[in-house]
Chains A and B, each alone.
Chain A
Amino acid sequence: MLVLEEIVRLTRCIRIGLSPHLSRLSVGFAVKMLQTFCFPGGVMHRFTIAYCLLALLQSPVVAAEVGIEYGRVTGVEVTTRESAMARNMLIGSLAGLLVKDTFSGALGGATAGFVVTSIMENDKRVFAYTMMLQDGRYETVAVNRPDIGIGHCAALERDAEHINLRPVSAVHCETQESAEASPGAEHRESAAEKCSAAREALTSPGENTDINAALREMRAYCE
């Protein structure tokens, strides 16, 4: 039992330590968390063991296989949790936590640090990203991260219970045909031409210039 306790405690500590969201926490709070999860004592002890077992069961090692699809973001809309639910959007894990107001829906997908920070921030906005996937389908995903822009390439990850959206390199959003037809230099040349054309359209637009489309092209090809 002692060995098992050590293993789950270590697992929990590693997961907290590796959390990409740890930087969002204050140093004091991080220390407090590490004390709670790594060096528990008294009444907290049993709770911590139960939590660690839960964390171990939900760890990536035993999690179901995650499906990943890549696509470009074609629209961003700030919405509310109720609206996102009413419109049957895919709800990301952290947004899912906000939507359901319960830990059960999101605990496995979210790190403890970010969950606590999100609750503390009390920011109830949900960001609905419309993506054009590589097979031409459109998906709208509601998550509470605000940092993905129109034209950016993003990965839509999902398993049986959770949805996650994260920005990735534009390489993942090149279609197979375009990669085969114009590998390397030709493709870059084509992108540079499109970037120049979009810039020209924006700095000296004509009467019929579609400014929205030119901005999208610029964001996609000039970055």
Chain B
Amino acid sequence: MKRMNTFLSRLCAAAAILVISACSSTLSSVDGNGGNVYALPVTVVDQMLRDAMVSEVPVETLRRGSQPYPMYLGEVTWGSLDTDTISALARPAIGRKLDGSEVEGYVFEVSRKGTAPATGEPTIKRILAKLHKDAELTGSGAAFVRFAR
């Protein structure tokens, strides 16, 4: 009986650690199977990122990231204690157009980190979907070759 109680208390402790510890995940517009680089000016990409974030993240938590490329960060909450930090960024990349020439552009990445995956996971999916939709509408996609720097 004592061993059973010890086992149960350890199991509960492990579950509690799992619940309160932070985790993270990242979604990107490119993966191992390729994807699109969008040949757009930095100002346009920046506005797209901002629009996508503003439509999902409370604007008072929105701020620019510290990377040298367009990036925004914001917070979403689940309940009153759990928070996820959502970041959306555009990484410079090289793409190849249909005529074979290479173009400079951007690849979108959206990630979450924190203790509110129930809110964070669907949020980053929707943000990436919005970015992807906007970028596709511009008709500026080129096949991903490599990251620029």
User: Which residues of A approach B to under 8 Å, CB–CB?
Assistant: 76-80, 121-125, 127, 146-147, 149-150, 199, 202-205, 211-212, 214-215, 218-219, 222-223
Interface size on B, residues (CB 8 A): 28
In whole Å, how far is B130's beta carbon from the nearest beta carbon of chain A?
A: 7
Could you tell me the distance between the alpha carbons of A123 and B40 in the complex, rounded to whole angstroms? 34
Chain B residues within 8 Å of A147, by CB = 126
Quote the shortest CB–CB distance from B112 to chain A (angstroms). 14
Contact call B56/A78, Cβ cutoff below 8 A: yes
Q: Assess A199 versus B43: contact at CB under 8 Å? Given A147-B126, A150-B51.
A: no
| B→A interface (CB under 8 Å) | 39-41, 43-44, 47-48, 51, 54-59, 76-79, 118-119, 126, 130, 133-134, 137-140
B137 touches A203 (CB 8 A): no
Contact A78 B126 (CB under 8 A): no
Contact A125 B134 (CB under 8 A): no
Known: A199-B138, A202-B138, A215-B48. A122 touches B118 (CB 8 A): yes
Which among A77, A147, A211, A212 has the greatest number of chain B C-beta atoms within 10 A?
A211
Given contacts A147-B126, A205-B44, A219-B134, contact A125 B58 (CB under 8 A): yes
B56 to A215, Cβ gap below 8 A? no
